[in-house]
Amino acid sequence: MQKHVLLTGGTGLLGSHLTQLLLDKGYKVSHLSRATGKDPRVKTYLWDVEKNVIDANCIDGVDTIVHLAGAGIAEKRWTDERKKQMIDSRTCSIGLIYEVLRNKGHHVTSVISASATGYYSDRGDELLTEDSLPAHDFLGRCCVEWEAAVDAGDVLGLRVLKLRTGVVLSKEGGALQKMAMPVKFGFGSPLGSGKQWIPWIHWRDVAAMYIYSIEHKNMKGVYNMVAPNPVTNKQLTHAVAKQLHRPLWAPNVPAFALKLFLGEMSTIVLGSTKVSAQKIEDSGFKFEYPELQEALKEIYG
């Protein structure tokens, strides 16, 4: 029987890549989205999380749900309203799906959800594992509430897996695109001290890890979704400049300027999060791009 995966956030950068990879491997794929999809190979079911509306038919024939939906962390300034939106878009959305599962017959056995290394937030040089305690700032609280909402699937008898994702490297969007822009124009520089750790991962390894998690039914709980070799902000900036053949001459962007410009959101770029990939490697997962230089060469090559 053809395996059927339902994705939330399936039209985003990672969701699009994962959708294609699943289709290439012979999976049937459906999306939960706010708008009608354009890919004839993918059935799109509509939902509106803010209005608590969902097409209950979305779970028909589905055995695995991959939950990627959530308002962008760095897209807008962190007002109280925006913070609430970031949390609700992650927690209320999975809650809406679980409500459907409670009230309708289904064959869903697994829920695999994104989380984020923001769970640990700014921790200096401490090597962070899945057993490390969460931070007490907004990012930590957001991830704790997000994961708790996903864990509600335990009482439904589901296999629940959460992947704490780091900084996903892709030239199509996200942090790398924003970092590379000033470098391309010759005025790139490290941010703050430049010593803060970046828990990066190549987008292909992200997609592969989701496939791996879908197919390895013994996996549950939480895993860090980061490459095994973290780098500092300075190292990443220099590696991008080298790959783009651009000089770095400008001084570091002062931390106070970033705090003034970004406010509380500055923790995204100034926070230091050194995250271990040991647990996912011990499970048998093999990274295609464990080293930054190889990852950037593939992205820009």
Domains of the chain by residue range: 4-168+199-227
Q: Residue 1: which pLDDT band, with cuts at 50, 70 and 90? A: low
Q: Residue 172: which pLDDT band, with cuts at 50, 70 and 90? A: confident
Q: Which residues contact 181 (CB under 8 A, 6 or more apart)?
A: none
Helices (H) and strands (E) in the chain, counts: 10, 14
In this structure, are residues 203 and 169 in contact, taking their beta carbons and an 8 Å threshold? yes
Residue 76 has a pLDDT of 85
Count of other CB atoms within 10 angstroms of residue 229: 14
Residue-wise pLDDT for 78-104, tens only, equals 899 999 999 999 999 999 999 999 999
Count of other CB atoms within 10 angstroms of residue 182: 15
Displacement of CA 176 from its chain's centroid (Å)? 14
Paired with 115 in beta bridges are 164
Domain 4-168+199-227 coded CATH 1.10.230.10? no
What is the C-alpha separation between 275 and 291, in angstroms, rounded? 15
Residue-wise pLDDT for 268-285, tens only, equals 888 999 999 999 999 999
**Residue 124: burial class (beta carbons within 10 Å; 0-12, 13-18, 19+):** exposed
Would you give the DSSP letter of residue 47?
A: E
Residue-wise pLDDT for 4-21, tens only, equals 999 999 988 899 999 999
What is the C-alpha separation between 229 and 199, in angstroms, rounded? 8
Residue-wise pLDDT for 11-55, tens only, equals 888 999 999 999 999 999 999 999 988 889 999 999 999 999 999
Q: Which pairing describes strands 53-54 and 43-48: parallel, antiparallel, or unpaired?
A: antiparallel
Q: Mean pLDDT score of the chain, rounded to an integer?
A: 93
